[in-house]
Structure 1
Amino acid sequence: MQSPSVSAVVAGPIRLLWLLFAVWLLAGCAGASLDDYADREPVLIPAQFFTGELSARGVVKDYTGTVIRTFDADISASWDNDGTGTLDEVFRFDDGEVQTRTWTLTPVDDGYRATAGDVVEPGLMQWRGNAIHMNYVLRLAYGDGTLDVRMDDWMYLVTPDTLINETTLSKWGIDVGEIVLVIQKR
């Protein structure tokens, strides 16, 4: 019986790796674009929707899609004369945890630069039609330490007073959870 050559043994796994790499590249190109929503209504203008008092209710899902937490939130939003927005958020989770976050939305050429105390990589908030997209890195409490997680945030205005927000959480390019919430103007 003749044993296969080393090059033949290595060639199979290398081809498989190239195939997996090509599939990964194609999957990365398949996402939605803000331009897909440019003609959708009602038109979402952040400085108009995020003004005054808002409330939110939502769920946190793990990597399997199982709901692991629920929450409600109050959001107080205001804008300075220079166009800078502030969103003060208070989240109350079903396990008793309370989180606060203050977003600062600073106007830049193509949207808003979005920062907060636990955001370690600021986001760029952009919008078209009825949608907003923002991608940033959030530092979360995890065990005795912290974990930095990429947040891919999509918001859709469905009525002038109601917005649906879907956020995919990922670490090292792998989806690890999802947050879905509804935000309503009061």
Structure 2
Amino acid sequence: MLLRSLQAFLLLTFLSACSGVQVSDYSDMQPVFSAEQFFDGKLTAHGVVKDRGGRVIRSFNADIVAYWKDGVGTLEEDFVFDDGEEQRRVWTLTPTGQNSYIGTAGDVVGDGTMTVSGNSAFLDYVLRIPYRADTIDVRVDDRMYLLSETVLLNESTLSKFGVRVGNLLLVITKTLD
């Protein structure tokens, strides 16, 4: 009986140690991130795409126009990649409660969920991307950290069937009028 209890305790300890970082872990971090304040106006993004081994395989720049109307946010993102490819994604952020949003876009499968705490926002969604002559759906775990009034660091992990297949790292800067 004692051995079984010890095994259960060790298993629970191991499982709790493996739990991932939660956005709530950043509740006391400053400056406080507000989607309505940061995603409002003109922004630019600069970043890289990495393969599953961590090698940079693409870079990109983006112009973003963000605004809120009737409590719903819109982010119009226009990307230009280093090989000349252009992409456009238009996000809609709909508040669902204090510090939580539903995020949708044309190439996002279903609804994404965004939660904000302290200086951070975590956005989870499934993105449909072109692959060879078809498309594939990858899960994206976006983690954003507000570094200053005008700088947001974003790191994303892309996975398929629970296996990491790539990463994105980008910096979003806000133009103050």
TM-score strictly above 0.5: yes
- Return the offset for 1:107: 1.4
Q: Structure 1 unaligned runs (5+)? A: 1-21
Alignment TM-score, normalising by the size of structure 1? 0.84
Q: Deviations over 1:37-81 (max 9, x none)?
A: 00000000000000000001000000000000000000000000x
Partner of 1:30: 19
- Which of residues 20, 28, 38 is equivalent to 1:49? 38
Q: How many residues align?
A: 162
Distance change in 2, residues 1:31/1:120 (3 Å): same
Distance change in 2, residues 1:87/1:141 (3 Å): same
Are 1:180 and 2:169 an aligned pair?
yes
- Return the offset for 1:28: 9.1
Partner of 2:89: 101
Report SS of the residue matched to 1:122.
strand
Partner of 2:144: 155
Whole-Å Cα distance in 2 between the matches of residues 67 and 41 of structure 1?
Answer: 30
The amino acid of 1:46's aligned partner reads A
> Counterparts of 1:100-139 in structure 2 under 5 Å?
100-110=88-98, 111-139=100-128
The amino acid of 1:143's aligned partner reads R
Are 1:86 and 2:74 an aligned pair?
yes
% same residue = 54
- Return the offset for 1:109: 2.3
Q: Structure 2 unaligned runs (5+)? A: 1-10
- Return the offset for 1:128: 0.5
Which structure features the higher share of strand residues?
Answer: 2
Whole-Å Cα distance in 1 between the matches of residues 93 and 164 of structure 2?
Answer: 26
Distance change in 2, residues 1:118/1:61 (3 Å): same
Compare CA radii of gyration and give the structure with the larger one: 1
Cα RMSD, aligned residues only: 1.5
The amino acid of 2:71's aligned partner reads G
Contact 1:112–1:124, Cα closer than 8 Å, also in 2: yes
Alignment TM-score, normalising by the size of structure 2? 0.88
